[in-house]
Homo-oligomer: A and B are copies of this chain.
Amino acid sequence: MPYFIFCIHNHQPVGNFESVIEDAYRDSYWPFLKAIAKHPSIKLTIHNSGFLFDWMMENHPEYIELLRSMVASGQAEVMGGGYYEPVLCVIPEEDRLSQIRMMSDKVEEVFGKRPRGIWLAERVWEPMLPTTIRNAGLEYLLVDDYHFIKAGLDRKDLGGYYITEDQGNVVRIFPGSEALRYLIPFRQVDALEDHLKELGTFLRKGDAAIYGDDGEKFGVWPGTHKWVFDEGWLDAFFGMVEKNAEWLKSVTISEYLDREDALGKVYLPTTSYMEMGEWALPAEASRTYTELIEDVKGMEDGGRIRRFLQGGTWRNFFAKYPEANWLHKRMLLVSKELSRLSTQARPGGGLERARTFLYKAQCNDAYWHGVFGGLYLPHLRTKVYENLIRAEESAGTGFTGEGATVEFMDLDADGHDEAVIRTEDLGLFFSPHNGGGLYELDYRPRAANLSNTLSRWEEGYHYKLLSMGSVEAGAEAKSIHEMVKVKEEGLEKYLKYDTSRRGSFMEHFLDGGATLDSFFENEYRDLGDFFQGRYDASAEDGTLKLSREGSALGVGYTVLKEVKALDKSSFRVKYRVKSHEKVLRRDFRFAVELNLMLPCCDGPACKYQSSPPMPDEEGIGLGSRGEVKGIRELGLIDTHLGIKAEILLSAPATLWRFPIHTVSLSEGGFEKIYQGSCLLFQFPVKEDGMEAAFTVRVEGI
């Protein structure tokens, strides 16, 4: 008799809004569990990721109670995983094992049974994973049939599990059915029954219909709550499975494993689910590939072609988004520091706490972008930095010395060293190779990175917005291929693209041709070659010296910037710009660009204070561009974070500032997201150059 495997994965990102989780619980997790519990013959294999699990333990013990009784009765099997749902292949092996064991311990503690399976976060497969999984004590996992088809297997041979291995370490791997993923819960139960019956005629004795997917499709996805619960889809679905129990046996994955043998051996390529392959590609390739997939559907020979088409791999998000790369490498730095500590004889609760913060920071959502915000969501990135800094604070690795020192290390793994200055309160991460800019500015008492911006990257899907023309908010436009929703009017005006990651203390030479608007639109002309140019770096007595011999409009210039911590919470960046020839160009301006996630949002709790005051001081975070002449002081106040930063200039400057808004896709459609503010301080250039200094002080409020 064939089997039916029903596997559900529930997950909430670390750092997600409390209200969002509560809504998801109310609309999906709880009604789902209650519904299936009423059909005790329907077996469930379920995974709740650790952050959500802890949240339920604390806020909704009734969920855990019900699930526990279902485990006790044999109706449900609980899977393990990396505790905070990391993409396993990109975190250190030590952390992989530790996070998986942490989850297994928790499952055993709560449900009395150690899990046998691992839910693989985002189904991101790499061939070395079996060794990790086995070493962590687990024996099976479920990915998509897509993974298997990319290994050359035929869909008809996917009615069970396969053996795969690395270095002889064996795991059992199940192919979740794409067809079932598209049917459940989106089609009528009748259609699903027909599909199962048709499938049944192909299934061999011992074969299974295998479903594995996100639990949020039952109630969280737009429109699904009404359909799945209010209109009774889920209950009808379970009823249908019960009705067919004579020929289709509902089993947990472990029950299946104990009854049936493997179909063979398989080796999967680096892949995730099909859509991830579209998202992970570089923008142009992503668009080309997505369109190709659509076009191929209409081709006579489409199935044969589609079988061998593959998109990008998950790790490519680190090449696609330097901000994701930085997050990841910053996380690796913390992990390495903790690992080093743990080999020393220095036990203590601090290190244990630090590890938990690190693991939370490894939660995958903030590191990539598909159609669910992810990296584009500032609150998720903020939470990663918060957890990383907290980990450092707990372990005592953030600031160990007496005074500030300059340390060189290739933090972002681009083959060139960063220069890191740490004081008791601050962490300053400069990248000499990338314009000598400041790419991370930590204020440790609030566990915040004030430099947590995101550039306006071109996305492969932006053309869909453009092809709609000017649209009104809420409009739905059906492009050639799919429905696209727009949350807000005039979004296409925000499709301005940056060419590099946004940092601070980066230099431009501008003339009258550059205007605030052209600068915002990234369509100005930079007369110099300093912005994103390569700087030499050296350190002397705690001062970081960054210098570059470059040119502007054919004249040689040396730009020297000296960075020095003044005390625990302030630092100075001193500029000396020397011209190699005496030239005077009246409208020549030396401009220093800062990009800060401070204020952290465009809400009313945040404001700027400048001297002289800005024309729309309260509104600066609300989407407006502006200019202030003769500015000497700027205060950036964020009452949400409880941080105030003051910037004092040694000479008056003209300030341009504008909010950085990205346009990205989320489940609700296209949306604009505030990613910080760009501040451009402009100084006149004399015939032999100029000098100016910035003093930055950060404090809690």
Contact = CB atoms under 8 A, between A and B. Distances in A.
Interface string A304-319: 1101111111011011
Nearest to A289: B308
A288 interface: yes
Given A296-B305, A319-B265, A151 B413 contact: no
Contacts of A628: none
A642 interface: no
Contacts of A92: 167
Interface of A: 89-90, 92, 126-128, 150-154, 163, 165, 167-170, 172, 261-262, 264-271, 280-282, 284-286, 288-289, 292, 295-296, 301, 304-305, 307-313, 315-316, 318-319, 325, 329, 332-333, 336, 410, 413-415, 534
Given A288-B304, A310-B310, A415-B163, A332 B270 contact: no
Contact of A270 (B167, B269, B304, B305): B269
Given A265-B413, A305-B305, A308-B310, 17 more contacts: A89-B128, A151-B313, A152-B280, A152-B285, A153-B285, A154-B284, A163-B414, A170-B410, A172-B415, A265-B414, A269-B269, A269-B310, A285-B307, A292-B304, A296-B305, A308-B309, A308-B311
Given A305-B305, A313-B127, A267 B170 contact: no
A270 B313 CA distance: 9
A265 B313 contact: no
A682 to B, nearest CB: 30
Contacts of A271: 269
A179 to B, nearest CB: 20
26 contacts: A89-B127, A89-B128, A90-B167, A126-B128, A126-B270, A127-B313, A151-B313, A152-B280, A152-B281, A163-B413, A168-B329, A168-B332, A168-B333, A170-B410, A170-B413, A261-B534, A264-B319, A265-B413, A269-B270, A269-B312, A269-B313, A288-B304, A292-B308, A305-B309, A308-B310, A309-B309
A282 B266 CA distance: 10
B282 A319 contact: no
Contacts of A410: 168, 170
Contacts of A262: 414-415
A308 B291 CA distance: 12
Contacts of A167: 90, 92, 332
A472 to B, nearest CB: 34
Nearest to A414: B163
A415 B169 CA distance: 9
A313 B152 CA distance: 9
A422 B90 CA distance: 42
Considering residues A151, A267, A282, A325, which has the most beta carbons from chain B within 10 angstroms of its beta carbon?
Answer: A267
A637 B301 CA distance: 55
B267 A315 contact: yes
A287 to B, nearest CB: 11
Contacts of A267: 313, 315-316, 318-319
Given A127-B126, A151-B312, A266 B319 contact: yes
A22 to B, nearest CB: 37
B305 A292 contact: yes
Contacts of A288: 304, 307
A152 B316 contact: yes
Closest 9 CB pairs of A and B: A152-B285, A267-B315, A152-B281, A310-B310, A265-B319, A165-B413, A270-B270, A168-B332, A269-B270
Interface hub of A269, A286, A319, A325 (most chain B Cβ within 10 A): A269
Contacts of A154: 284-285
A635 B15 CA distance: 75
Nearest to A301: B295
Contact of A282 (B150, B153, B165): B153
Nearest to A169: B413
A47 to B, nearest CB: 23
Contacts of A270: 126-127, 269-270
B152 A282 contact: yes
Contacts of A319: 151, 264-267
Contact of A315 (B90, B127, B172, B311): B127
A342 to B, nearest CB: 17
Contacts of A415: 163, 170, 172, 262
A285 B410 CA distance: 44
Contacts of A285: 152-154, 307
Contacts of A269: 269-271, 310, 312-313
Contacts of A172: 415
A252 to B, nearest CB: 19
Contacts of A329: 168
Contact of A152 (B128, B165, B286): B286
A265 B318 contact: yes
A525 B270 CA distance: 42
A152 B312 contact: yes
A127 B169 CA distance: 18
A117 B315 CA distance: 23
A649 to B, nearest CB: 34
Contacts of A332: 167-168
A402 B442 CA distance: 67
Nearest to A305: B305
Contacts of A316: 151-152, 266-267
A316 B164 CA distance: 10
Nearest to A322: B265
A296 B292 CA distance: 14
A163 B319 CA distance: 10
A499 B403 CA distance: 72
Contacts of A318: 265, 267
Contacts of A308: 289, 292, 309-311
Contacts of A163: 413-415
Contacts of A153: 282, 285
A684 B264 CA distance: 35
A195 to B, nearest CB: 25
Contacts of A282: 152-153
A153 B301 CA distance: 26
A280 B319 CA distance: 28
